Amino acid sequence: MKLFAAIAFGLCLTPCISRAGALNLATLTCQKYESEVLPAAASNPTADSLNTVMWLFGYSVAKSGAHVMYPEALGPFGFALDNECKSNPAESLLDALGIVKPEPKNPMDLTALECAAFASRHVELARTDPESATTIMMWLFGFSVARSGSHIFDADSLNSFQAALLADCAKYPKRPLFDALSTPKPPRPAK
């Protein structure tokens, strides 16, 4: 629960960005991120800006080669990404994510957390605090996308990612969560 409380606190400090369909991190410039993506959250009450930043955070950690979650680093990460983009407007968001490093406070090693333990905690959190459960799942989703080698953020794929991850954890309960996040998940079904 301490992890979840720290993440929730960090969310309060995060700058806002919105999502509008799939975002290609390699072609999205920092200038566009700052001028279009960030302001869109202020004018779109249905945009879930915190979860988008959480996805970018998970993606950034995985791209760095780390296998840990930093529950207290979301706020500083969001501010550092914002500063990097303001300083280098022509830079791609993908490159900016490679430069911004999370503060390594109180890391939670994903290789030491069994899939079944994560899944049972997630199910309970989804029952008691669905917003926090979704936010944590977004971090894991971003982490998994980076591990797969992709650079596309498609928030509409969250539910299929979550279902595949939880099914994987049910099938291989003793598997480390890190390994489950490194297993390709099926694409979302066509609408």
Nearest alpha-carbon partner for 188 in 22, 14, 13? 22
Domain boundaries, the chain: 2-181
Structure confidence at residue 22 (pLDDT): 81
Structure confidence at residue 36 (pLDDT): 77
81 and 55 Cβ atoms separated by less than 8 Å: no
Nearest alpha-carbon partner for 15 in 70, 77, 63? 77
Structure confidence at residue 16 (pLDDT): 34
pTM attached to this predicted model: 0.82
| Bridge partners, residue 114, by sequence | 176
Q: To which H or E segment does residue 23 belong?
A: strand 23-24
Structure confidence at residue 184 (pLDDT): 64
Structure confidence at residue 88 (pLDDT): 96
Q: Please state the φ and ψ torsions of residue 23, each to the nearest 5 degrees.
A: -115, 130
Q: How far is residue 174's CA from residue 55's CA, in Å, rounded to a whole number? A: 25
Q: Please state the φ and ψ torsions of residue 157, each to the nearest 5 degrees.
A: -90, 0
Helix and strand counts by DSSP (H, E) for the chain: 10, 4
> pLDDT tens per residue, the chain (191 residues)?
433 333 333 333 333 333 446 889 999 999 998 887 766 655 554 456 778 888 999 999 999 999 999 888 888 998 999 999 999 999 999 999 999 988 888 889 999 999 999 999 999 999 999 999 999 999 999 999 999 999 998 888 999 999 999 999 999 999 999 999 987 654 444 34
Q: How far is residue 123's CA from residue 169's CA, in Å, rounded to a whole number? A: 12
15 and 82 Cβ atoms separated by less than 8 Å: yes
Q: How far is residue 41's CA from residue 36's CA, in Å, rounded to a whole number? A: 9
